[in-house]
Structure 1
Amino acid sequence: MRRRHGPTRTNTDGQPEREPACPCSSVFVRVSRKDSVTDKRKQPLAYALSVNYAGMVCLAVAVNLPPLLLTTLSAALGGEAGLTEEQLGRIGSAIFVGLVVGIVLTGPLADRIGAKPFAIVGSLCVGLGLAVLGFARSYAAVLGAAFVMGLGAGVLDMVLSPIVAALQPEGRTSAMNWLHSFYSIGAVATALGVSEALGRGAEWRTISLALIPLCVLVAAGFVAMRVPALVAEGHNRLPLRRLCRERYFLAALAAILLVGCTELAMAQWLPAYAERGLGYSREAGGRALMVFCVVMAAGRVAGGVVGHRVRAIPLMIGACSLAACLYIVASFAPWRPAALVACMAMGLAISCLWPSMLAVAADRFPHGGASMFALLAAFGNGGGILMPWLVGAVADGTSMAWGMATGTIPALLLIVLLAWMSRRAA
């Protein structure tokens, strides 16, 4: 048990006060029942978590809006023949190039000057990318907008996880799953809203501009928020150079790269694959992505509830096995409804991979700070650079089915790597 310092607090009857039952009680000061300080301390925690969850929704808009518009952009900007699969794949890759650039440029600075300025700038940068997309008149402008949105999303991705880990240090696996469940919730809301708007005849430029106020509100929320130190008081941040000499950390970097590949091959291509590969309508493709995000959100909420009772790595191995099977069904099932169901069920299979991998690294290296999360996020989003382009390139050379089937490869490699990490952690 940790040693308590200072005098023991007592209640009005002179009896020692009991420890609060709330699992998050470590972030609050224990006070008497008549003391109002507890309420004042609880409110900032609830507010801080709410703002971070809203930031994750803003990130989800940046990442998930372009995939919903791929076929629309192809028709609008590609002439009679439309854009090729490889050109469409570049749009998704541009988002993740921006993500990685944002993470790499700002990650180390957050440990020195704090996370708050970056959270504000990241939110506004997503809004700027939406504005560029709303006024885009060429394919090059769309690529630029995707990059700017990705840049803002990368800055947010870099700061949100370490902030929440600092707010809830005693339950990181659960905290990460709760935080990242709001990415899925944001993706669901984006897919539902955009699909409905497109179905009613709304223009894609109008949709992009209508989402800008969300980013402004998130930035305002961070302005009013008190952001905690990303490394606990009394501890020095573990230098990144020392982290990179740890074999386990290098394995974690490789693992989250494969996680990104496994997740984003499907997440970025599902609407276009449903339409071009399986022959469904554009609205059906958007709704399929929405269901994908719904089951992903459900999986992450479940992970948040049971995360403190289930070991992360065995759970991830099972999830990767399921993902590999679903990729095969999605690509080669002779009955197209079965293939579409497999695509949507992939959201559940991959739901725990990203937040659990972050939690595994944070538990193993608790003083890594924002630099550690930044490097992990950079490698994870590197999968988003590689896989959307690779799926499109393979599809151009063979078929959409074989392009989608490439997602099986990182899932199988991840099983092997996680088995090694499990032995090292034992």
Structure 2
Amino acid sequence: MAAPSATPSAIHPKLLTILCYGAMMSLAIGLNLLPVFLTALSELFGGVEGLSKEQLGRLGALAFAGLSIGILATGPLADRWGAKAFTILGNAMIALSLVGLAFAPSYAMVGAWMFVFGLGSGTLDMVLSPVVSALNPARRAAAMNWLHSFYCVGAAVTILAGSLALKAGLGWRGSCLVLLPLPLGLIIAFSRQHFPSLTTEGGRTPMRALLKNGWFVAALVGIFLGGATELGMAQWLPAYAETSLGYSQFTGGMALLAFSVAMAAGRMVIGSLEKKINSFQIMAWGCGLTVLLFLCGSFLPSAPLALVACIVAGFTGSCLWPTMLAVTADRYPNGGASMFGALAALGNAGGIFMPWLVGLVADWRDLHWGLAISAIAPLVMLPLVLGLGARKRRA
């Protein structure tokens, strides 16, 4: 039996939307604190030789594995019981993981807590998009880009806090505790709110029916490639700046901060221009420009220009994930949390695969080639989004 929805008068759409923005920032903590400290963790847990790049990539992969499992497990339950309990549970797991990571004694325990962090982030990732979509049915593309821009804001705050904690000598453990108040505050705030139903009165479209539809399957592939585009660079940029371009650890953290700010700006721009653009064309442009910038960032002989290209790729690739969510929600408005869960799981599966692949190629060759391999994702996504747009016009 589905959870009874709150009456419209009991729901405060603007306030709840703002709290969802805050929860998206909380989600960003677990996926962006790790890259700032890859070098430090290598030295702390890897001894004289340090951890291998594959071992470092494995930590990020564990977080995204937890993320995908959390999404898949939570989607059907949220359709049945409503979203409120899962927004609280997700923030609780994030808070618990921050405490656990602050006191983790070994590489294995860091990996275990990164997995739990991923579970909490996945729980939030699953419920936030359908809640914001239900609260803003007349402007889904704008609302989705704004929501996901706050993931980037959260990433920027996390990276800045981590980098400043590093500079102040607090290290990995101190940074975890500095970020703890955000999820704790959100637990209290969400507990006082009423949530909307995640589908219209027509009822939810079953996942079996969606998976028989070719357009939806192509959208799943597209969001996998969008996640791979975004997260391959995001997970490895600080380490690339430090070990391949010759910058300091602090500068590497600031590069990721700038990348996150560029992503936030890109999503806010798309959100502001919702009625003036074609969503499929803007994704196609984003794919093409991101391919060029990834290759420039990987192979330009000038370190400053290469770093700038990596950062600007955050702006051009920013629209791919949230806009794909929005166009799919517009096509299937009764997909419910399960549909968003499937999309988010595939997007984050790209986030598992690409950072691991970058590390694998880097061990085989170097990080220049490791990051260059990331360009395959937006290159393949380009014709796919054009095809989805053409099929939408014919529908």
The one-letter code matched in structure 1 to 2:22 is A
Q: Structure 1: which amino acid aligns with 2:109?
A: A
Aligned to 1:14: none
| Number of residue-to-residue matches in the alignment | 387
CA contact (8 A) 2:325 2:343 kept: yes
The AA in structure 2 aligned to 1:86 is E
Distance 2:168 2:90 in 1: 31
| Corresponding residue to 1:304 among 271, 293, 299 | 271
Distance 1:362 1:281 in 2: 43
Tell me by how many angstroms 1:423 deviates: 1.4
Counting only pairs closer than 5 Å after superposition, residues 65-214 of structure 1 correspond to structure 2 as: 65-214=33-182
Once residues 133 and 416 of structure 1 are traced to their aligned partners in structure 2, the CA distance between those partners, rounded to angstroms, is 42
Larger radius of gyration: 1
Unaligned runs of 5+ in 1: 1-27, 30-39
RMSD: 1.3
Report the CA distance between 1:244 and its aligned residue: 0.3
Decide whether the 8 Å contact of 2:294 with 2:372 is kept in 1: yes
Aligned residue for 1:36? none
Structure 1 Cα separation of the partners of residues 104 and 243 of structure 2 = 24
Map 1:328-407 → 2, pairs under 5 A: 328-407=295-374
Q: CA offset at residue 121 of structure 1?
A: 0.3
Deviation digits for residues 300-342 of structure 1 (CA, Å, limit 9, x no counterpart): 1111111122111100000000100011001100111111001
Pairing of 1:221-260 with structure 2 (within 5 A) = 221-232=189-200, 234-260=201-227
Matched letter for residue 266 of structure 1: M
1:247-326 correspondence runs (5 A): 247-326=214-293
Superposed CA deviations along residues 102-146 of structure 1, whole A, max 9, x for unmatched, are: 001111111111011111000111111111111111110111111
Q: Report the Cα offset of residue 194 of structure 1.
A: 1.1
Aligned AA (2:391): R
Q: Following TM superposition, by how much is the alpha carbon of 1:158 offset from its aligned partner in structure 2, in angstroms?
A: 0.1
1:58 to 1, 12, 26: 26
Question: Residue 161 of structure 1 contacts residue 373 of structure 1 at CA under 8 Å; is this kept in 2?
Answer: yes
- Matches of 2:323 and 2:274, distance apart in 1: 9
Take 1:203 and 1:354, find their aligned partners in 2: how far apart are those partners? 32
Contact 1:265 1:387 in 2 (8 A): yes
C-alpha contact (below 8 Å) 2:225/2:381 kept by paired residues: yes
Q: What CA deviation, in whole Å up to 9, does each residue of 1:264-313 have, x standing for no partner?
A: 11011111111011111000000000110111111111111111221111
Determine helix, strand or coil for the equivalent of 2:199: coil
Higher helix share: 2
- Percent same amino acid at aligned positions? 49
Q: Name the aligned partner's letter for residue 232 of structure 2.
A: A
Q: Indicate if the aligned counterparts of 2:159 and 2:257 stay in contact, CA closer than 8 A.
A: yes
Letter in 2 for 1:238: T
**Tell me, what secondary structure is at the counterpart of 1:407?**
helix
| 2:4 alignment counterpart | none
Q: Cα distance, 1:161 vs. partner?
A: 0.2
What are the within-5 Å matches in structure 2 for residues 7-86 of structure 1? 44-86=12-54
CA distance in 1, matches of 2:310, 2:193: 39
The equivalent of 2:187 in structure 1 is: 219
Matched, 1:415 2:371: no
Please say if residues 141 and 327 of structure 2, whose CA atoms lie closer than 8 Å, have aligned partners that are also in contact. Answer: yes
**Are the counterparts in 2 of residues 173 and 308 from structure 1 also a CA contact under 8 Å?**
no
Residue 203 of structure 1: CA displacement? 2.3
CA contact 2:165–2:174 (8 Å) conserved in 1: no
Q: TM-score, normalised by structure 1?
A: 0.89
Amino acid in the other structure paired with 2:161: G
> Following superposition, which runs of at least 4 residues in structure 1 exceed 6 angstroms of deviation?
none
TM-fit CA distance, 1:398: 0.5
Matches of 1:218 and 1:68, distance apart in 2: 24
TM-score, L = length of structure 2: 0.96
Q: Which amino acid aligns with 1:386?
A: F
Shift in Å, 1:348:
0.1
Query: Is the 8 Å Cα contact of residues 161 and 175 (structure 2) preserved in structure 1?
Result: no
